[in-house]
Amino acid sequence: MSTSSIADQVGRAKRGVGVSGSGRSAGPRKNRRLRAKGWTYIIFTAPALVLLLLINLYPVIYAAYQSLRNGTLIQGGDFVGFTNYIDTLVSGNLSPAFWQAALFTLIFTLVGVFGSWVIGLVLALLLRTRIPGGGVFKVLLLLPWIVPVVVSAFSWNWLVATPQSPFPMLAQSLGLGNVLFLANPTLAKVTVCVFKVWISFPFMMMMMSSALASVDNNVYEAAKVDGAGSWQAFTQITLPLISRSTYISWILMTIFCVNDFPTIFLLTGGGPVGSTTSLVVLAYRTVFENFQVGPGVAIAFMTTIVLIVVSVILYRQIRKASVE
C-alpha cells in the first residue's frame, strides 16, 4: 500500500467515510452492531471498573465524609461542616503541628525528588559507558530500592543512632564532637532526607537509564561534528530529550515522597519534638494515636488534593515537552 493511499484513507476516516465505502452514513443495522459492540466492551470492562471504583473512589468519598464529622474509630459521629479543616489550617490545636509537618513534607519531597534524580541521572550516565562488570554495579546500585524499607531503616538506625554507631564514631574521630544524627532536630531532618535519597536513587537511575537508552547516538555524533562540547551536549541534547521521562519520574517520586510513611516512622517516629513529622505521619498519629478521626482524615484529604494538583501541573510540563 502506497503512502498516498494511507494518507487518503486516514483523510477519509477523519471525514467519517469508510475505507471502501461511498461516504454514505452507516445504516441502522450497522448502528445496532456498533451499539452491541459497545455493550460488549462495557460488560467486559465492568468488573475491572467496579473494582477500580471501589478501591480508588470509595476511600476518597468516605474520607471526605469522615473529614466533615467528629466521629471516632468505630462511630460515624455528627456532621461538623468544615470545622476540622478550619481547626487544622487556622485556629485549632493541630494547626502549628500541621504547618510544621507541611514544611517538613515540602523539604523532604524536594530533597527526595531532586536529590535522588541528580544521583540517579549521574549514575545512569556513568553506566552508559562500557565498564567491566557494569551489570554487577547495576544490581548493587539497585539494592537500596530492592531491600525492604524496614530492613533499611534498622540498618540506618544501627549506623547513626547511638554514640557508638559507625557514623557518630567517624564524626568523633574527625573532631566534630558527639554528633547526634537523630536526637538533634535539624540533623534528624537531614538524616531522614538523606535516607530517602538513598533508598530512592535506584528508581531514578532506572528511569533515567531507560530514557537515555532511547536517545539516538547519531544525535550526539552530529552535535560533535557541529562543535558541541560535552556540557553543551548534556544540556542541549540529553536533558531535553529525556525531559518527558524526567517529568514522569518527578511526578512519581513526588507521590512516593509525600506518601512515604515507613521511612520516617521507622527511623525517627516523627521526632524529635515533631521535627521529622510529615503530613502522612501526622495524619496517622492524629487518627490512630490521638483518636481524632475527623481532623486526621482532613489532613490526609488535603494532602491528596495537593498531590493531585502538583501531579497535574507536572503533567502539563510533560505535554509541553512532548509538543516541543
Partner 1 sequence: MTNSFTGSNVSRRSFIGLAGAAASIPLLAACTGGSSSGGGGSKTLKFWNMPWGNTSFNPLDKKITEAYKPANGLPAASYQEIQWANFTQTFSSAVASNTGPAVSSGGGTQAFQFESQGAIAYADNLLNSWKNNGLYADFLPGLLDAMKVPKGYAAVPYNLDMRVLWYSKSLLAQAGANVPTDWQSFLDTCAALKKIGVYGYGTSAGAGSFTGGHILVSWMINNGGGLFDQNQQPNCVTQENIDAMNFVLECVNKGYVDPASPTYTSANAQSQWKAKKFGMGFDTAGLAQNVGGAALDDLVVASPLTSPNGKKGALYFPNNIMMYKNTPSQEGSEAFLTYYYQNMSPLWTQATGIGLPPLKSITQTKEFQANANNVKVINEWQPISKTWAAPGGTALFLGVTTVDGTPAMDTFTQSILGGKTDAKTALTNLQNAIKANMKS
Nearer to partner 1 among residue 56 and residue 232 (C-beta): 56
299 and 88 in contact (C-beta within 8 Å)? yes
Q: Can you tell me the distance from the alpha carbon of 59 to that of 48, in angstroms, rounded to the nearest whole number?
A: 17
What residues numbered 94-113 form the site for partner 1, per CB under 8 A?
A: 97
User: Do residues 207 and 245 touch, judged by C-beta distance below 8 A?
Assistant: yes
Name residues whose C-beta falls within 8 Å of residue 265's C-beta, 6 or more positions apart in sequence: 281, 284
- Within residues 234-263, the interface with partner 1 by CB under 8 A covers 242, 244-245, 248-249, 251-252, 255, 258-259, 261
Q: Which of 31, 40, 45, 56 binds partner 1 (CB under 8 A)?
A: 56
Binding positions for partner 1, 267-286, rule CB under 8 A: 267-274, 277, 279-280, 282-286
Provide, rounded to whole angstroms, the least separation between the CB of residue 131 and partner 1: 22
The answer to whether the beta carbons of residues 165 and 159 sit under 8 Å apart is yes
Question: Contact, 233 vs 215, CB < 8 A?
Answer: no
| Residue reference for cell 478550619 | 86
**Which segment (39-47, 139-147, 182-190, 216-224) binds partner 1 by CB under 8 A?**
182-190
Which region among 111-119, 139-147, 231-239, 297-305 touches partner 1 (by CB under 8 A)? 297-305
Which stretch, 16-24, 216-224, 230-238, 288-296, contacts partner 1 (CB under 8 A)?
288-296
> Is 26 or 151 the residue whose CB approaches partner 1 more closely?
151
Count of CB atoms within 10 A of residue 68's CB? 21
Quick one: CA dihedral 82, 87, 88, 94, positive or negative?
Answer: negative
Q: Which of 17, 63, 122, 142 binds partner 1 (CB under 8 A)?
A: 63
- Residues of this chain, 110-149, that bind partner 1 according to CB under 8 A: none
Dump strand ranges (E) for the chain.
none
The footprint of partner 1 on residues 305-324 (CB under 8 A) is 307-308, 311-312, 315, 318-319, 321-322
Q: Rounded CA gap, 268 and 260, in Å?
A: 13
With CB under 8 A as the contact rule, which of the stretches 19-27, 51-59, 137-145, 230-238 interacts with partner 1? 51-59
Among residues 89, 92, 114, 122, which is the contact residue for partner 1, using CB under 8 A? 92
| Residue from the set 161, 192, 193, 205 that interacts with partner 1 by CB under 8 A | 161
Q: Which residue lies nearer to partner 1 by CB, 18 or 59?
A: 59
3-state helix, strand, coil in the chain (%, to 5): 75, 0, 25
The CA–CA distances, whole Å, from 56 to 48, 50, 51, 60, 225 equal 12, 10, 8, 7, 52
